[in-house]
Structure 1
Amino acid sequence: MPAIPYPQKRGKRTLIAIIIVIAAVCAVVLALHLQPWKPAPSGPPVPAIPAPVVPTVTEPTIIVAASDSSAASKAGADYICDGIDDQYEIQAAIDALPARGGTVQLTEGTFKCSGNILPGSYTTLKGQGDESTHLIFTDNGLIWMKSDSIALEGFRATGSGYSGKSAHRGVIYITASHMWIKDVTATADRSIQAVFYVQSIEGYTRDIEYIAFIGCVADSPGTYGFLHSSQDTDNTVHRYVQYTDCRAIDCGRHSRFNNWVTGFDFAELNDIESLRVTRCIAEGNWESGFHLEWAPNKNDVVFTDCISRNNGRKPYPDYYDTSGEYYFGAGYYAPKGSYTFNNCTAEANSAYGFFFSYPDGVYLYDCTDFETGRGKTDYSQVKPTSFFIVQSLLTNANPSIVMENCESIESFGYGLHIALMDHVQINNFRLTDPAGIDGKGAVVGGSPRGALFVDSSIDIHATGDRVSTLVYAMGNRNVIYSGQINSNAAHPFVIDGYGTSNVRVQNMQMLPVGSAGITLTQDVPEGAVTIVKS
């Protein structure tokens, strides 16, 4: 007779199995919760940059209580505010710190400030968190960080009603070096130029360096979320700047300081060197999500694991030309400079996912654009494009731009547009079902003005049937194409003339079997294109 399992032992084994399963599920859930980003990119390691020299002396700690703080908080405070001109009590606490520095600790509650707070060097101004400590600024009040080595942490700030010179500052206004701003959420109405503003100004006699924003949020302001600029000074460089886990949400969407409000603007009138932007989000902003102006110098700028979505809420203009400043509407607007993008995502931005003009050594690894142009309907002026790349013929970089393992998914216009470019290296670019412009899903060269795409290589893997031509190439010289095109389009891959010469198509698989394959127009000179069947 077979043995009968002993009930208690069977129960213990079952219980152990259940515990193991629960533990495994919890581990998976925790991993997903802590790491919502895509896998690590395949690009080279990002060089570290120096961190700010922030206050290390935390004592003495002077406590300032709000008028609506608890009785217990007031009992332990050194200063107690009355809800009117609370900046005076906060400033008195700052001024009471010794020269070596210390901490001014704000309790829970609301501090109503009608003037400036000026932290001194080696001062930490710290709240109880952005849901507990709230500073409300009126009558041109703001936090002006004009001395080196200051830290802000753990509060919420709101500003409104600015005029005069204060209207061209920020609620958190930085004009010196070695700043550490952590877990600060802030907003403002349309009367001030920015929420978080780093500006080089007259009187500070050197470049601004070593600025770190960590976990900061610009929350639905009527102005720029994070802004860098300069005025009335020759010291225009901002160097060693870090943004980590920061967000710019709905900046300028409902009201705006001007018609060009962006989420992050890292180079308005200043030069920028050694900028690191990591795990930051720009969403719902009036103009671009992440933005740098054309004129400043921009070197060693690195974006890693960033997300830019639903930006460019501004209506399309009646007239548009990329040679003028009529509209940006980009997830990432990065002209004239050297940049690296690792594992960055753009989604549903109105005009461009990634915009590059005059690229001077740009590298993209594992970057993806989803549905650029979604939410707009009239594309007669602005042509939405996932990856827009122009004008390296006027720079000296070789390579001018490198793209590895990048993808355009269901663009409402072009998936890829390249013109006036040389020394381009694109490997494993995936073009997925673009809606296209004028029947074309991707344009490389694309103008009857001579050779507009030269000395380059493209490995492209394209699918989709919404356009008559998935890949259109014109004016190519010394260019190699490879990859795979899978489409029932009328002409999946078209090579046109006007300057076309020494184009080689090799290891290019055309699917399905029997598709129209590669089309050479009558304007292609004889012998200008060589097709090597895989």
Structure 2
Amino acid sequence: MRDKRTTKLLIAVFLIVGLIPIVGALEATPNTIVAASDSSAADKASAAYVCDGVNDHVEIQAALNALPSSGGVVLLTSGTYNCAGIIAPRASSTLMGEGESTTFLKFTNDGRINVDREYITVDGFHIQGSGYSSGVKWLGVMNIRASHAKIHNITGTADASIQAVYLLVHDPTVYAPTLEDVEFINCQAVDTGTYGFLHNAWGSTNMVIKNVRYDNCAAINCGKYGQFNPWITGFDFAELNDMDGLRVTNCLAEGTTESGFHFEFDPKVTNAVLENCVSRNNGQKAFPTKAYNANDMSTHYFGCGYYAPNCDVTFINCTAEGNSMNGFYTTNGGKLYNCVEKDTGIGRTDFSYRVPAGYYSVPSRSVNPSTVMENCTSINSRAFGLQVDLANNVKIRNFHLIDPVGYNGKGSSLGGTNGQFDNSEVSIYASGNRVETLVWAKENVNTVFSGQIVSDAAKPFVIEGYRTQNVLVKDMEIVSRTL
């Protein structure tokens, strides 16, 4: 049985061949059907190409090659397609299945999908890749290397022999212009040994990827079943590439080896927005067992819900829950509105070399404002709920710090752990009795505090430090939790 998309496709065919009069001079879009070896008899009867279960990419590619230069649609009916080679749709074409739970493409022998021409759409099937050779390991099961691509309704997985399920990469040997205008809608990477969604750029020209959109996509258990490397993330939006104009809405990252949503430290990221996203239970690998050393990669660790250093990125209504190191890591341009962090560091007990924080911004002083948080909440963080240090021009407004477990008796650190918290404003509403101090301000200069603390803690609000000066506390209320 075909789904609604297929029904619409067949209706379009009837319209095209003239069974129903058409007004206007619209050019017909040819359509070709491919059936799998295990497709139904009816599907095989309607197909122009019927696969035999071996090297099925050959029939699929033949169907794509048979489309006119103007493009068209190739439909893969329900069934399993065993592909031991590359599928490369032509420009302006659509490769469509009958749904992620009914149309399956299984790639072996370095097989994959290469979206190397403009205006390609892939829609409605499941991809699986395994057993890749070293010569192609830096690629993905699906590679998007040309602009104006639409990736819709795809579920994918891969073992640890290849770098990603979905790779969006500027490769100048394939496509020299700027890579831009790519969208992922209703796509998933599930139970992988590698990255879910990865952006990258090779070479030295046109390193910026522009105008990429994700909606209702998910990366689940990336790195749970083997590991391509120790740094596997769910979504990595900036690896070696710069990124301009990213929109991510209603997306989920869960159970990854490292961070759920990730931007590397060095790329330039501008005009990025993540809205209504959820990142939970990420940072599954163990904490380092020795102190940080820049030259010792075993001491490097992310483990964040959202990792976005030095990025012009805005988070709106995003949630981080149960991530191992930080819920939100944002510095030098991060803006957070109506975000919630809960249970950061849960399940971790040894903080000898890593101390979790729900919201982390260190250092953050190269732009003005450097970090903005409005109407954000930290709930039950297993160490600091909020840690902002080596910071200047920070705006924290209506922040709710709820019952942190704390570290060394402190529920938050504003300049406390590294020194310097200058020219900033903090409006904070803190509560809880599990720490001696809920709000710890140290080495502050020209900073204004307001809000409310509800606690029976011994020292609920501490301001200290040899360089501390010109700190104003106004409209601040401290209330006993029991009296």
TM-score, normalization by structure 1? 0.83
Return the match for 1:387 from 345, 359, 374.
359
Please tell me the residue identity of whatever aligns with 2:466.
Y
Tell me the amino acid that sits aligned with residue 125 of structure 2. F
Opposite residue 335 of structure 1, the aligned amino acid is P
Q: Deviations over 1:43-62 (max 9, x none)?
A: xxxxxxxxxxxxx9882110
Contact 1:287 1:312 in 2 (8 A): yes
- Does residue 127 of the first structure (1) align with residue 97 of the second (2)? yes
Tell me what 1:455 maps to: 423
Indicate the SS of the match to 1:165: helix
1:215 to 155, 179, 186: 186
Q: Secondary structure at the match of 1:412?
A: coil
DSSP-derived class of the 1:459 partner:
strand
2:478 corresponding residue in structure 1:
510
Distance 1:174 1:120 in 2: 13
1:315-354 to 2 correspondence within 5 Å? 315-321=286-292, 326-354=300-328
**Counterpart mapping for 1:191-270 below 5 A:** 191-203=161-173, 204-270=175-241
Aligned residues: 454
Moved over 3 A (4+): 320-325
Q: Which residue of 416, 421, 432 maps to 1:464?
A: 432
Aligned partner of 2:256: which letter? Answer: N
Alignment of 1:155 with 2:125, yes or no, is yes
* CA gap 1:254/1:447 in 2 versus in 1, 3 angstroms: same
Q: Give the C-alpha shift of residue 401 in structure 1.
A: 1.6
Q: Aligned to 2:66, which of 96, 101, 107?
A: 96
Cross-structure match for 1:63:
33
Give 1:320 shift.
4.3
Aligned counterpart, 2:441: 473
Specify the code of the residue in structure 2 equivalent to 1:344: C
Structure 2 contact 164–198 (Cα < 8 Å) conserved:
yes
In structure 1, the residue matched to 2:84 is 114
Q: 1:402 aligns with which of 372, 392, 414?
A: 372
2: CA distance, partners of 1:270 / 1:209: 12
* Structure 1 residues 514-533: aligned runs within 5 Å: none
How big is the alpha-carbon RMSD for the aligned residues of Structure 1 and Structure 2?
1.6
Q: Is the 8 A contact 1:447 1:475 kept in 2?
A: no
Match of 1:292 among 253, 256, 263: 263
Q: Secondary structure at the match of 1:94?
A: helix
Is the CA contact (8 Å cut-off) linking 2:450 and 2:476 kept in structure 1?
Answer: yes
Encode CA deviations 1:358-380: one digit per residue, 9 max, x unaligned. Answer: x13x2211000000001222111
- The answer for the alignment partner of 1:181 in structure 2 is 151
Shift of 1:64: 0.3
Instruction: Please give the alpha-carbon distance, in whole angstroms, between the structure 1 residues aligned to 2:341 and 2:293.
Output: 20
1:427 is aligned to 397
Give the one of 137, 140, 150 matched to 1:170.
140
Shift of 1:233: 3.8
Can you list the C-alpha shifts for 1:333-361, whole angstroms capped at 9, x where unaligned?
A: 0011211100000000000000123x13x
Q: Distance in 1 between matches of 2:120 and 2:356?
A: 43
- Between the aligned partners of 1:178 and 1:63, the Cα distance in structure 2 is 24
1:70 Cα offset (Å): 0.3
Extract unaligned runs of 5+ from structure 1: 1-55, 516-534
Per the alignment, in what secondary structure is the counterpart of residue 168 of structure 1?
coil
Amino acid at match of 2:351: Y
| TM-aligned CA distance change 1:58 to 1:172, over 3 Å | farther
Say if 2:314 is the partner of 1:304: no
**Partners of 2:389 and 2:418 within 8 A in 1:** no
Q: CA deviation digits over 1:143-170, x for unaligned, max 9? A: 0111111000000000001013321100
Does structure 2 conserve the Cα–Cα contact (< 8 Å) formed by 1:201 and 1:233?
no
How far is 1:202 from its partner?
Answer: 2.7
**Separation in structure 2 between the aligned mates of residue 183 and residue 294 of structure 1, nearest angstrom:** 31
Which SS does the other structure have where 2:43 is aligned? helix
Q: Quote the Cα distance in structure 2 between the aligned partners of 1:111 and 1:504.
A: 68
Is 1:80–2:54 an aligned residue pair?
A: no
Q: What CA distance in whole angstroms lies between the structure 2 residues aligned with 1:323 and 1:403? A: 30
Post-superposition shift, 1:446?
Answer: 1.1
**Paired residue secondary structure (1:87):** helix
Give, in whole Å, the separation in 1 of the partners of 2:418 and 2:291: 21
How far is 1:295 from its partner? 0.6
Q: 1:429 to 1:323 in 2, by over 3 A?
A: farther
Instruction: Deviation per CA, 1:269-308: give whole Å up to 9, x if none.
Output: 0000000010000000000000000011000010000000
- What residue identity is the alignment partner of 1:134? F
Q: Structure 2: which 5+ runs fail to align?
A: 1-25
- CA separation in 1, counterparts of 2:481 and 2:305? 37
Residue identity in the other structure for 1:355:
Y
CA separation in 2, counterparts of 1:130 and 1:256? 24
The letter of the residue matching 2:371 is I
Q: Report the identity percentage.
A: 48
The alpha-carbon deviation at position 321 of structure 1 amounts to 3.6
CA distance in 2: counterparts of 1:137 and 1:454, whole angstroms: 55
CA contact (8 A) 1:448 1:498 kept: no
* 2:467 equivalent to 1:491: no
Please tell me whether Structure 1 or Structure 2 has the larger radius of gyration of its CA atoms. Answer: 1
**Match of residue 313 from structure 1:** 284
The residue aligned with 2:19 is none
Aligned: 1:378 with 2:350: yes
Distance 1:252 1:514 in 2: 46
CA contact (8 A) 1:137 1:159 kept: yes
After superposition, the Cα gap between the structure-2 partners of 1:420 and 1:77, relative to the gap in structure 1 and judged at 3 Å, is same
Please state how far the C-alpha of 1:80 moved relative to its aligned partner.
0.3
CA distance in 1, matches of 2:236, 2:408: 33
Q: Distance in 2 between matches of 1:185 and 1:238?
A: 23
Q: TM-score, normalised by structure 2?
A: 0.92
For residue 323 of structure 1, report the CA deviation from its aligned partner: 6.9
SS at match of 2:137: helix
Task: Show the counterpart of 1:530.
Answer: none
1:58–1:124 contact (8 Å) kept in structure 2: no
